[in-house]
Amino acid sequence: MGGRMARRLVDAGYKLFIFDTNAAAMEPLLAAGAQRVESPAALASAAEIVLVSLPTPPVVEAVALGPDGIIAGSRVKIFVDTSTTGSVYAKRVAAGLAAKGIVAADAPVSGGLKGAEQGTLAVMLSCPQEARAVLEPVLSHLGKVFHVGTEPGQGQTMKLLNNLLSAAAMAISSEAVVMGVKAGLDPRQIVDVLNSGTGRNSATVDKFPRFIIPRTFNLGFALGLLNKDVRLCMAEADALGVPMIVGSAVRQLLAIATASEGEDGDMTEIVKPVERWAGVEVSEPRQ
């Protein structure tokens, strides 16, 4: 996601400084004209706006507030987190950066690798109004910007709601389609009918026809990351006193799928434990 978003900024004519612990990940951007620096601190000494796309909340916190992190930079004014970290970490990072006069903005994104490449992401921006005026022209190259709030963590909460619903659609659609296949129905026809009726959702429209029925399982979003996002959402719901009865069931199935298929398994592999329990496979009918 980060590489694709960065490429859109390079192509839009921005002078881009980049850093990644994986040197190979930077090569396409360097070839496109980006300039490499040697640390997050160096990045924050080269640019006034720093955007990060990172895998977990502790990594975001270390990159932002660590001894060689963004906070040690001499030029940075705004820190933009496009990762999914949850509101607790967002508030912690914002408070730490504020001590150095750096504004922190949530800007988690949704839309997958394709959306990142094509600039059609949903960008859930939360930041003060002054920063909004600066950031929206930049972030508009990544997709549609929704300014959801002015407080740290509000963008993160919005993203967790999105990912909970995405996981829920994947979980319940897995059970429904597996049930249909067990009853002898054709999986392609199952999703065609669902998509023409009230059962239509993101899993039946996109994930089943493109990644599950063909058995490619290469949507590009890891089970471990989705499991992390749903757990963060459950924790925030608990802190807010909001019951998550259906969400808890989704979390349980997702935890089972992550344990059986591995942290690096594709999120579309949620269907596999359900298939094994039912003794069927959601795939093209064998000729």
Give the span between the Cα atoms of 217 and 195, in whole angstroms.
Answer: 20
**Per annotation, catalytic residue among 100, 159, 182, 272:** 159
Helix, coil or strand: residue 208 = helix
| 140-168 exposure pattern, b = at least 16 Cβ within 10 A, e = fewer | ebbbebebbbebbbbbbbbbbebbbebbb
Q: How far apart are CA 101 and CA 95, in angstroms?
A: 10
> For residue 185, how many other CB atoms are within 10 A of its CB?
13
Q: Is 159 one of the annotated active-site residues of the chain?
A: yes
Q: Provide CB contacts within 8 A for 184, sequence distance 6+.
A: none
User: Count of CB atoms within 10 A of residue 108's CB?
Assistant: 28
Active-site residues, by number, are 159
